[in-house]
Every structure is written in structure tokens, then in C-alpha cells.
Amino acid sequence: MAGKNLIASVAQIESRIFLIRGQKVMLDADLAELYGVETRVLNQAVKRNLERFPEDFMFQLTATEKAEVVTNCDHLAKLKFSPSLPYTFTEHGTIMAASVLNSPRAIETSVHVVRAFVHMHELLSDHKELAQKLAQLERKVGAHDKAIAEIINAIRQLMAPSEPNKKRPIGFAPWKDK
């Protein structure tokens, strides 16, 4: 039974991981909800420990990025009228946030968050393998297409009626025509 709950929670966490600026991240509101604290409390703890959060662990969204995220995600509608711009946490930032909060729920949830990120990495690597195999297949098929086209051209040349060889007529030809 515990395995099913884990899968459901990992799936729930995966649905809250976004690709922003080429990085997989979670928003502060989603992370705070998972860790069982208010967003304000999470952000205060992070601000007290800013030295633990370099740019590759956490960054703040721009107004445009915030509008796009709110538009695409119904569960983030509450952020639409928020005057502050949300923070986003990368995989390493989510783990660091759990250590800053240091509550039993945050520690337990961070394990699930890490598993969700790892699962997404595995899916991505599977897709890369598939893409490489498709590229190899396309190259093979492309080479075959070229060979088939050459065979068809050769067959067409064989099917085309050849022009009869022009021979010199038998007999006498006037000198002018020579």
C-alpha cells in the first residue's frame, strides 16, 4: 500500500515541475504546499539563508514568466494578483529548502521530490535514446531511398526504347551530301 501512495505523490510532484529558462524547477507556492508551510514562511527561511541558495539553486521569475505560468496552470490562479514575483527552486534548491525548514514533513517530502526529479531524468534519457535510434533509422532509410531511386532510374533507362543506330545508306551518295 505504501508503494501506491509513493507513486501517487511522485506523480503529483512531477505535475508541479516546470521547465523555465531551460531548467526543471518548482515554484515556491507548490514547494511550500508540499512541505506543509505557508509560502511566506518558506521564502522567509530562504531569505535568512541566502548563502545556501546560489543562482543555480533558486531564481525569481520575471513578470512575463509569472503571467505565463499563471495562465498555463489553473492551480496557480492565486498568484495572478500577488504583488510579489514567485521564486523557483531547481532540484538542488528543493533539497536545500527542506534542510532550511528542517521539519519532519519537509525532510520526508524532500525524498519524494528527489524521486520525482530522478524519475523525470530517467524519462528524459529514455527519450534521448529513442531519438538517437530514430535518427539512425532515418539515416538508413535515407540511404535506402537513394539506392532505390538509382535502381528505378536504371530500370527506366533500360525500358526506354533506344534510338536505332544511324548507318550510312548503302549505295552512291552525291559528293555534296558527304
Q: Which cell is 73 given?
A: 496552470
Map out the domains of the chain as residue ranges: 2-130
User: With bands split at pLDDT 50, 70 and 90, how would you rate the model's confidence at 2?
Assistant: very low
- Closest among 156, 120, 11 to 3, alpha carbons compared: 11
Convert the pLDDT of each residue in 156-172 to its tens digit: 777 776 666 666 667 77
Give the mean pLDDT of the chain. Answer: 78
If one looks up domain 2-130 in CATH, what number appears?
A: 3.10.260
Q: Please indicate whether residue 1 or residue 29 has the higher confidence score (pLDDT).
A: 29
Contact (CB, 8 A) for 117 and 24 = yes
User: With bands split at pLDDT 50, 70 and 90, how would you rate the model's confidence at 3?
Assistant: very low
Q: What is the mean pLDDT of residues 61-68?
A: 90
| pTM over the 0.85 mark | no
pLDDT at 150: 82
Label residue 106 exposed, middle or buried (CB < 10 Å: 0-12, 13-18, 19+).
buried
Distance of alpha carbon 90 from alpha carbon 53, whole angstroms: 10
Convert the pLDDT of each residue in 84-138 to its tens digit: 899 999 888 888 888 788 777 777 777 777 778 777 777 766 667 776 777 777 7
Convert the pLDDT of each residue in 40-55 to its tens digit: 989 999 999 899 889 8
Residue 83 CB coordination number (10 Å):
4
